Amino acid sequence: MLIREATTADWSAIWPFFQEIVAAGETFTYPVDLSEEQGRDWWLLPAPDRTVVAVTEAGTVLGTAKMNRNHMGNGSHIASASYMVDPAHSGRGVGRALCAYTVDWARAAGYRAMQFNAVVETNAAAVHLYRSIGFEVLGTLPEGFRHPTHGYVGLHIMHRSL
Ligand SMILES: CC(C)(COP(=O)(O)OP(=O)(O)OC[C@H]1O[C@@H](n2cnc3c(N)ncnc32)[C@H](O)[C@@H]1OP(=O)(O)O)[C@@H](O)C(=O)NCCC(=O)NCCS
């Protein structure tokens, strides 16, 4: 697996699983009927932010991550990141590799910490993964997310220093 910068040419490979994940409405605070154009604009970030894809040697896109400044001005030393792994390729370490990449990117870019703004508390894979690489839950917005099957659940703010 290789992690490289995403280009607009990658979008057609990203969109099918991106849409599946967003439409499921279980993990992101994006509109579940997000349009392809809006999704592309939100996900493919220009420098100095960065969006990457994890690909096989044959070029199959397994997952993607975006990493970016979380706040502006005097809060601009905190980074954030988001991840989507194609469900057909989940559970094989792609998400962990993308997380590690974003932490390395944020550190190299001079950020002092990373913050995830809205981690759905029922997203066990994400919460486990983030904790395992040093993030902790700073607090939880009670009933911050309307999960399609669990109902109102909390949204964690997660943080790690760099
Ligand atoms: C969360 C996500 C990025 C993880 O990617 P992945 O490639 O499947 O994850 P990995 O294979 O790297 O596994 C990461 C860890 O999660 C664990 N995990 C997987 N499913 C789990 C579950 N249901 N409960 C607890 N841990 C789980 C794995 O065991 C692994 O931990 P380990 O290495 O200690 O065994 C991926 O599932 C995804 O894209 N989900 C939908 C979108 C999403 O939730 N994005 C994050 C929003 S905050």
* pLDDT 10s digits, 90-141: 999 999 999 999 999 999 999 999 999 999 999 999 999 999 999 999 999 9
65-88, pLDDT tens digit by residue? Answer: 999 999 999 999 999 999 999 999
Structural domain boundaries, residue 39: 2-161
Q: Side by side, which strands form the sheet with 151-161?
A: 2-5, 50-55, 61-69, 78-85, 113-120, 151-161, 136-147
Number of domains in the chain: 1
User: Which residue has the CA at smallest separation from atom 46 of ligand 1?
Assistant: 83
Q: Probe ligand 1: pick from 42, 43, 83, 89, max atoms within 8 Å of CB?
A: 83
Quick check: CB of 11 below 6 Å from ligand 1?
Answer: no
User: ∠ CA(89), CA(34), CA(26), 5° rounding?
Assistant: 50
- CATH assignment of the domain containing 144: 3.40.630.30
Beta bridge partners of 120: 155
Quick check: CB of 65 below 6 Å from ligand 1?
Answer: no
Concatenating the DSSP letter of every residue in 30-92 gives S-TT--HHHHHHHHSPPTTSEEEEEE-TT--EEEEEEEEESS-GGGTTEEEEEEEE-GGGTTS
User: Which residue has the CA at smallest separation from atom 5 of ligand 1?
Assistant: 95
